[in-house]
Copies of this chain bind each other. A is one copy, B any other.
Amino acid sequence: MQRMLDEVLPLRHASRELVRELGFLQARDSATSLSHSHCHALIEIEGRGSVPQSELPKLLRLDKSTTSRIVTELESRGWVKARSSPEDARARLLALTHAGRAKVGYVHREANLRVSRALETLTDDERRTVLDGMQIYARALERSRRRATYAIRPMKAGDRDEVATLIRTVMPEFGAKGPGYAIEDAEVDDMFNAYRGARAGYFVVTREAKRGEKSDVVVGGGGFAPLVSGDDGTCELRKMYFYPEVRGLGIGQELLSLCLEGARRAKFERMYLETLKKMDQARALYERNGFVPLERPLGKTGHYGCDSFYVRDL
């Protein structure tokens, strides 16, 4: 943690400097007589040809009220033309006019010139580092922001139906349907009671409720329990699945850590798991966490559809 802090402080400082230098806080650029948001909007519309106005808030990461005002101004300046959608009279489809395309070309040239001038004094290696660093950090911040909207907690009785749906939705995505897969287990319908024992546990990942939404939606889960027909010291990591929206956010790692912790507290000495070779993300996670591949399965789970087996000490 100390090591990390050594990087955090200078990074925060560099971020502040960078944002100021990029001038995103300035209202209007004198060369283009447009704010950054207006430019960004023109660029996004240009890049997509035609954009529903309802998409703009996501693309620009601005409030819909702001994008509404931006569109109003761009229309009044004659750079954007809106037509209502043929399917839905509420929706407005935005496209650039001829003048708009000319303007966005000018905006691009100006921006390219400015960035080029700054890069000019750098070596090839430095330019490479700048680009990589910016991209990595932007992605990391996005992941972290998205991660923050989810929570992990032990499963409750009320999650029963949602967990069943989760398992029955995700497994077939990887071709795991029919006999020989965990999807056929009787416990799927009542995971809460199946994992409430002293030496078992099941955790769920829930999405924070947005305004007016149903709260506590289950979007992932995973747990552990004694390995069927295994010895007393061996548990199995079971039914760890996530909907696509939570993948790649590092939540699998956190859930796995909780399972490892729980298994240790339940006095298990080894954790075993069965999965599919084609579940690449999952297998990479297991391998990062010290799981070693086995040639043959342990115990008698009855999941003869699985083709990949791992174990690690606790």
Contact = CB atoms under 8 A, between A and B. Distances in A.
Nearest to A113: B8
A279 interface: no
Interface in A65-120: 111-112, 114-120
Copies of this chain, complex-wide, total: 2
B21 A22 contact: no
Contact of A118 (B5, B114, B129, B144): B144
Contacts of A61: 20
A12 B4 CA distance: 28
Nearest to A40: B16
Interface stretch (A132-140, A153-161, A179-187, A198-206): A132-140
Contacts of A141: 18, 21-22, 118
A157 to B, nearest CB: 31
Nearest to A5: B112
A11 B121 contact: no
A12 B126 contact: no
Interface in A209-261: 250
A14 interface: yes
A135 to B, nearest CB: 5
A10 interface: yes
Residue with the highest number of chain B CB atoms closer than 10 Å, among A14, A18, A137, A138:
A137
7 contacts: A1-B116, A7-B127, A11-B119, A12-B111, A129-B136, A131-B133, A133-B133
Interface of A: 1, 4-5, 7-12, 14-22, 24-25, 40, 60-62, 111-112, 114-122, 126-127, 129-138, 140-145, 147-148, 250
